[in-house]
Structure 1
Amino acid sequence: MATFFGEVLSVYSRAVEEDDEDLDENEEDEQIRRELEEKREVQLHWSPEISESLKSGNKLQCSDFVLAVGHNAARFLSVYVLSSVGWDAVGHASLWNERNQAGQTGVEAACVFYRQKDNPSVLICQVTCYIAEDQLFQWTEKVFDCVQHRQLNVTVLSDSSVADFKSADYLCCSSAPFLRSLHTAAFSAAPACRALEQPNIMTGLPAAVLNHCEVHRIAAVVYQCYSDVIGPDSVTMETFKPALTELGKSIQLDSSPSTDVLRKFVRNTNIQSNLYI
């Protein structure tokens, strides 16, 4: 190449090197993406007996699957159902995301599966950890892939803030806590409460489970409890009782749990003022 002063310079094209640099960056980005996906993968850990059965190609024979999402829903099952000695912990799910950091204590125990001793076809799952949007599908797929779908009934109990409830009737929200429901087309029983009014929607794990059940024609119903209390609350917990009425033959509710059991699972929230301490 000649310059303005007539000097001839030997030059080389940078096209190949730039392409190589872009290729290296793309490979590095792809590796980081793969490592992140592996880190965010949902892992199911079952008891040795169930693990061996699943490895043999068998699925959990389940007639009723009750899923509790949120602290009040999970504590409701702990107080009114799991407080009896008739349940065994048979597995748990572990996952990592921006809210469930690695090494955080109690993350694995925040998604636990229980099975009834006298009736192993009844399965309960309590979820109190955060499940990110990109993990909802794989959690649902992996869990339901372990459970037989024939004659399966799914009941989901879910927490929600009354501030998220949209209604033209403002007096409705003053009666919190209250239940609303959504169900799949395969669900033939009468729900225990009113249907969720438009334009309200369900999100998170309850929505993912309901969508999965609708696609696979599984009878499922979601009961969402709208409460004005942020922390665990005995009144909010008791609101879920009608939701399990239809399961009376499979799950026996403790109608009057002891004070010690309630005290164990209900945490008093101390409200501190910003002006006075």
Structure 2
Amino acid sequence: MATFFGEVLSVYSRAVEECDEDLDENEEDEQIHREIEENREVHIEWGPEVTQSLGSGSNTLQCSDLIIAVGQNAAGFLSACVLNAESWDAVGCASLWNERSRGSSRQSSAPLPGEPACLFYRHRDNPAVLICQSTCYIAEDQLFQWTEKVFGCLQNRGLNVMVLSDSPMAEYKTSEYLYGSTIPFIRSLKSSAYKCQAFCPAVEQPNILTGLPAAVLSHCQVHQIPAVLYQCYSDVISPDSVTMETYKPALTSLSKLVKVSTVHRRLLRGGWLIMPGTQ
């Protein structure tokens, strides 16, 4: 711009405006990020009795054994063989939202019948024994929340954990040919604090565990909690009596804790399966 010597011109700069726009965009991004985090937060909702116990001073529940079933077949096995045998009380549920578990986000509300869910049961005569049935998908970014919030409510001292987990056969890696008669089959993995003998072979390399079972076992390994995981590999994803029977050797351990149903063979083979949310 032409001007005479000595004239002072006010120079307009977009730097300040661009900086303000960046701040607005950052604030908007942070707000969106906060909303996403809130939507994906895992909420553990306990019943009145457990809530009262947690508020009594110790803030943790005395728990000797936590049995976790992940997947429809593992959950169906516990329903038929354990929950069907004696009186168990539903004492809580985990509510969460993600792309594959949209129906379990209603806080302070029990899941609808047949809806994928994560439910907690407590033995009426032995309240130190808890069962968790998880048939809903828990996203990777929600696994740490789940383990921290669930185990944060339980006393670690004297706690033992058993996990029964379903896994598709496609995820199993082996150089050997597997005959149809050998499927389904089960493998185990335990924390260093678990000193008992597993009832099946260990998971072979290079197989890895993922999802909630891996998160639970990792938590137990870090906190020196005795834990054993039994992973059932099956070519059937939907509830299947043959796959459920694969967990049957676990009854030896479970029978030491609670009464096991004497009619579990009929329940499994006859197709009478009590799935979570249908009781």
Partner in structure 2 of residue 137 of structure 1: 144
- State the match for 1:27 in structure 2: 27
1:151 aligns with 2:158: yes
Question: Is this contact kept in 2: 1:93–1:108, CA < 8 A?
Answer: no
Q: Structure 1 residue 264: deviation in Å?
A: 4.0
TM-score, normalisation: structure 1: 0.88
Quick one: which amino acid aligns to residue 68 of structure 1? A
> For the Cα contact (< 8 Å) 1:113–1:124, is it kept in 2?
yes
**CA positional deviation for 1:103:** 7.4
- 1:120-131 mapped onto 2 (5 Å cutoff): 120-131=127-138
Tell me, what secondary structure is at the counterpart of 1:163? helix
- 2:63 maps to 62
Distance of 2:192 and 2:9 partners within structure 1: 77
Q: Shift of the alpha carbon at 1:167?
A: 1.1
- List alignment gaps of at least 5 residues for structure 1: 268-277
Change (3 A) 1:197 1:171: same
Tell whether 2:258 aligns with 1:251.
yes
Query: Residue 124 of structure 2 is aligned with which of 113, 117, 121?
Result: 117
In structure 2, the residue matched to 1:214 is 221
> Any conservation in 2 of the 1:94–1:108 contact (CA below 8 Å)?
no
Shift of 1:251: 2.3
Residue among 227, 231, 250 paired with 1:224? 231
1:263 aligns with 2:271: yes
1:109 and 1:198, CA in 2 relative to 1: closer, same or farther beyond 3 A? Answer: closer
Q: Tell me if the contact between 1:184 and 1:218 (Cα under 8 Å) persists in the aligned partners.
A: yes
**Residue type at the aligned position of 2:18:** E
What letter is aligned with 2:247?
F
The answer as to whether partners of 1:92 and 1:109 remain within 8 angstroms in 2 is no
Say if 2:104 and 2:117, in contact at 8 Å, map to a contact too.
no
Q: Which has the higher contact order (CA 8 A, sep 6+)?
A: 2
Aligned counterparts, 1:29-178, within 5 A: 29-58=29-58, 59-101=60-102, 106=112, 110-171=117-178, 174-178=181-185
Task: Name the counterpart of 1:179.
Answer: 186
1:122 partner amino acid: V
1:54: Cα distance to partner?
1.2
Q: What letter matches 1:133 in structure 2?
A: E
Q: Does the 8 A contact of 1:74 with 1:126 survive in 2?
A: yes
Q: Which runs of 4+ in 1 moved over 4 A?
A: 8-11, 102-105, 258-262
CA contact (8 A) 1:180 1:196 kept: yes
Measured after TM superposition, the shift of residue 99 of structure 1 is 1.1
Q: Which amino acid aligns with 1:215?
A: V
Gap runs ≥5 in structure 2: 106-110
Q: After superposition, what is the alpha-carbon deviation per residue over 1:180-229, rounded to whole angstroms, capped at 9, x for unaligned?
A: 00000000000010000000010000000000000000000000000111
What is the rounded CA distance, in whole Å, between the counterparts of 1:102 and 1:236 in structure 2? 26
- 2:135 aligned partner, one-letter code: T
Structure 2 counterpart of 1:33, which letter? H
TM-aligned CA deviation for residue 168 of structure 1:
1.6
Report the RMSD for the aligned CA atoms in angstroms: 2.4
What count of residue pairs does the alignment treat as equivalent? 263
In structure 2, the CA distance between the partners of 1:258 and 1:201, relative to structure 1 (3 Å rule), is closer
